[in-house]
């Protein structure tokens, strides 16, 4: 099994294809409806990319509860963002690391919006979407290498955590 795993990962990295190792900081934001060649720093594009369809969500199955998603993804990612908001990254690698965590924060918001863990289609969905939007603000600040904007974006992330916890904490698992 281990031999196979190594073969799989090496093949992936060697091919430059799906899952190949981009150097840190070169991951691109692919926004809903945004084209493949979209530039960094423009995470919110328009129009449906050629050859892409919008996922129907068929086949989605919640495996983690919302609480587990917090522990596994949201809390580590948001803490990395908060830390960077307090003390701006000092190297390209450090900026890229924050960007990766912001992308995870955005995608964990997508997970909060799908499957059976969704408790309602109103505030829960709006608040989860607010998490995604705040994460996009972090990504824009990172791409602009703007520490002040990063700090403000971190505050925006915090506000989305806080408002959702006020309504749902202790009520949702």
Per CB under 8 A, contacts with a copy of itself among 103-132 are 103-104, 106-107, 110-111, 113-121, 125-126, 128-129, 132
Nearest distance in Å: CB 40, a copy of itself: 12
Nearest distance in Å: CB 95, a copy of itself: 16
CA 101/CA 169 separation, integer angstroms: 23
CA 168/CA 171 separation, integer angstroms: 5
Of 27 and 94, nearer to a copy of itself (C-beta) is 27
Selected range binding a copy of itself among 62-70, 89-97, 140-148, rule: CB under 8 A: 62-70
**Residues constituting the chain:** 173
- Contact between 78 and 105 under an 8 Å Cβ cutoff? The reply is yes
CA 16/CA 85 separation, integer angstroms: 33
Nearest distance in Å: CB 48, a copy of itself: 7
3-class state of residue 62 by DSSP: coil
Nearest distance in Å: CB 132, a copy of itself: 6
3-class state of residue 126 by DSSP: helix
- Contact between 52 and 105 under an 8 Å Cβ cutoff? The reply is no
Identify residues 2-21 at the interface with a copy of itself (CB under 8 A).
2, 4-5, 8-9, 11-12, 15-21
Q: CA dihedral in degrees (92, 96, 99, 104; nearest 10)? A: -170
Number of residues that bind a copy of itself (CB under 8 A): 99
Q: Pattern 20-59, binding to a copy of itself, x per CB under 8 A?
A: xxx----xxxxxxxx-x------xx---xx-xxxxxxxxx
Identify residues 144-173 at the interface with a copy of itself (CB under 8 A).
151, 154-155, 158, 161-162, 164-165, 168-173
């Amino acid at each position: 099994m281990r031999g196979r795993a190594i073969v799989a990962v090496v093949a992936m990295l060697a091919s430059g294809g799906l899952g190949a190792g981009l150097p840190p900081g070169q991951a691109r934001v692919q926004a809903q409806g945004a084209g493949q060649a979209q530039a960094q720093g423009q995470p919110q594009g328009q129009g449906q990319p050629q050859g892409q369809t919008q996922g129907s969500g068929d086949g989605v199955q919640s495996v983690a509860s919302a609480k587990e998603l917090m522990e596994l993804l949201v809390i580590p990612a948001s803490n990395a963002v908060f830390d960077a908001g307090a003390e701006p990254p000092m190297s390209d690698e450090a900026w890229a690391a924050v960007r990766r965590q912001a992308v995870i924060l955005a995608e964990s918001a997508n997970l909060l919006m799908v499957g059976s863990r969704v408790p309602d289609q109103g505030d829960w969905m709006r608040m989860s979407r607010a998490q995604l939007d705040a994460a996009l603000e972090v990504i824009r600040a990172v791409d602009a290498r703007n520490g002040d904007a990063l700090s403000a974006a971190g505050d925006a992330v915090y506000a989305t955590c806080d408002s959702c916890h006020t309504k749902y904490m202790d009520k949702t698992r």
